[in-house]
Structures are given as C-alpha cells and as structure tokens.
Amino acid sequence: MSKVVIITGAGSGLGQAVAIRLAQEKINIVAVDINEEGGRETVEMVKQSGVDAMFIKADVSKAEDVKNYVDQTVERFGTIDYFFNNAGISGSGSYFLDSKIEEIQQIVNINLMGALYGVRYVAEVMLKNGAGSIVNTASSAGVIGQDSVVTYSATKHGIIGLTKSMVAEYAKDGLRINAIAPGPTETPMVKAFYEANPSMKENATKGIPQKRLGTPEEVAELVAFLLTSKAQYINGEVIRIDGGFTNTK
C-alpha cells in the first residue's frame, strides 16, 4: 500500500521540490497551501510520476484549517505516514523595533502556531496508527541569531524546541520528528526577501563558505531521507543544510 505525505507550503519553493522528490518514491501527495494556483500546479506536477495527489487550501495560522487538512487527508487516504511541516513566511526584513505589531503577529501565527497546530493534529493520527515521521522546517536563523529577522528567528528557534520536546514525549510510541535548518536557499520567498533587501544577499553569499545559495532540490533530498524508512534511528535532530554558513558563526 502506498504511503501518504502531507506537505504544507507545497505551492512553491521547498514544499514543491519535496513533493516532486517524494512522488518519485511513489508516495501519494497532499499539497497544502494558501496559494491555490501554486498548490494545484504542484498536484499536476506530481501526478506525472503516477501518484495520487490532492490539493487542500488552508491558512495554517487557523487551527480549524489545519484540522480540516488533516481530516480530509484521512478521509481520502485513510492514514498519514509522513508530514513535511514547512509553511512559513520571512517578514519584511525590518529591524525589530521598526517592525509593526501586526507583522510580528502574522509571522508568529504562521511560522510557529501553524507548525504547532500541524504537529498537534497530524501526530494524533500517527500515534493511533503506531508510527509516523515528521520533518519540521526550521532555518539557519533557528540555530544562530541574525539581524533583521528577529521575529522569524524566534519562531524558528521555537520549531527546534517543538521538534526536540515532541521526541522526548512520543518517540517511545513510534513517532520520529526531525528538523531541517536551511541556510539561504533559492526559493521564491528568499528571492523576494533579497529583492526587498539587496545588500543582504551579497552579505549572505559572502558568509557562506561554499559561496552560493542552496537549491530547493538539495533540501528535498535531505527531507526525503529524513522522512522515509531510510532514517529510522535519526530522531530529534536538527540537520543544517547551509553550505557551512552557521559553522562559521
């Protein structure tokens, strides 16, 4: 029987790349995104690999939307084997004291609350089934401090706390949860951030020992490995994939 994965933020960037990679493993895809056009595009792309796939529109900052995408997945496929808990936003790049309260709330609600809600409802299904694997998207800004992304960094540090603490509670019940910490990666979100803050791209690239940004496809390979049975004894880890960026900090 084919495995099933839910991917949030599946309409572009890392989410879309992971969907395409997992479809190559014949894993059925549930693409979740607030962007309907991007999400449906991902579904059409993965269907070319011969898997079953569906799109569910959701605002992950709303608990009822998160519960809905979990319920719809179980109704359609009967189970959830894997979860790439990935949806997130970066913010404007303003220094923290210049940030509007509304922006702070939006970043926290999407990046942190959305991830918490996702784990809450997905893990409940996985534990009933006796097993499951989750990968949360943290960031290089979740393992070090970085200027101009204070709220974003705070949420990504929170993702790491979520990952480690869930393992402490539920690894004994068959749950595996790991996190990835990508450095600057060529995704639409990062490109938009650098377009709004051009000097930051040059500074970031200079600070990466490999002297380039990562690609979504490189991250997708790591996520696919961590989610699947090839990584059964890796649990509670935060895997950096940043060209050595945080290694020099």
Is residue 249 over pLDDT 90?
no
**pLDDT digit string, tens, across residues 81-113:** 999 999 999 999 899 999 999 999 999 999 999
pLDDT reported for residue 195: 78
Higher-confidence position of 207 and 139: 139
Is residue 247 over pLDDT 90?
no
Q: What is the mean pLDDT of residues 14-19?
A: 98
CATH class of the structural domain 4-238: alpha beta
Q: The tokens 């009967």 sit on which residue?
A: 78
Q: What is the mean pLDDT of residues 168-191?
A: 93
Can you say how many angstroms the Cα of residue 48 is from the centroid of all Cα atoms in its chain?
23
Q: What is the DSSP-derived secondary structure letter of residue 125?
A: H
Cα radius of gyration (the chain): 17
Confidence of residue 69 (pLDDT cuts 50, 70, 90): very high
Question: 31 in helix, strand or coil?
Answer: strand
Q: The tokens 């996520």 sit on which residue?
A: 223
Closest CA to 207 of 199, 218, 195: 199
Q: Is 187 exposed, middle or buried (0-12, 13-18, 19+ CB in 10 A)?
A: buried
Across the beta sheet with 238-241, the strand order is: 53-57, 28-33, 4-8, 82-85, 132-137, 175-182, 238-241
Is residue 15 over pLDDT 80?
yes
Q: pTM higher than 0.75, yes or no?
A: yes
Q: What is the mean pLDDT of residues 57-66?
A: 98
Beta strand 132-137 with 53-57 is unpaired
Mean pLDDT in the chain?
95
CA 223, CA 161: separation in Å to the nearest integer? 19
Is there a contact between 152 and 90 (Cβ–Cβ < 8 Å)? yes
Q: Where are the domains of the chain?
A: 4-238
Q: What is the mean pLDDT of residues 67-74?
A: 98
The dihedrals phi and psi of 191, each to the nearest 5 degrees, come to: -60, -45
Higher-confidence position of 247 and 60: 60
From the list 69, 152, 170, 194, the catalytic residue is 152
pLDDT reported for residue 97: 97
CA 3, CA 183: separation in Å to the nearest integer? 29
Is residue 43 over pLDDT 90?
yes
Percent of the chain at pLDDT above 70?
98
Neighbour count for residue 2 (Cβ, 10 Å): 11
pLDDT reported for residue 190: 78
CA 38, CA 176: separation in Å to the nearest integer? 29
152 catalytic residue (yes or no): yes
pLDDT reported for residue 100: 97
Q: What's the CA angle centered on 99, arms 94 and 105, to 5 degrees? A: 120
Is there a contact between 167 and 235 (Cβ–Cβ < 8 Å)? yes
> Would you state the structure tokens that stand for residue 190, as one six-digit string?
């990062």
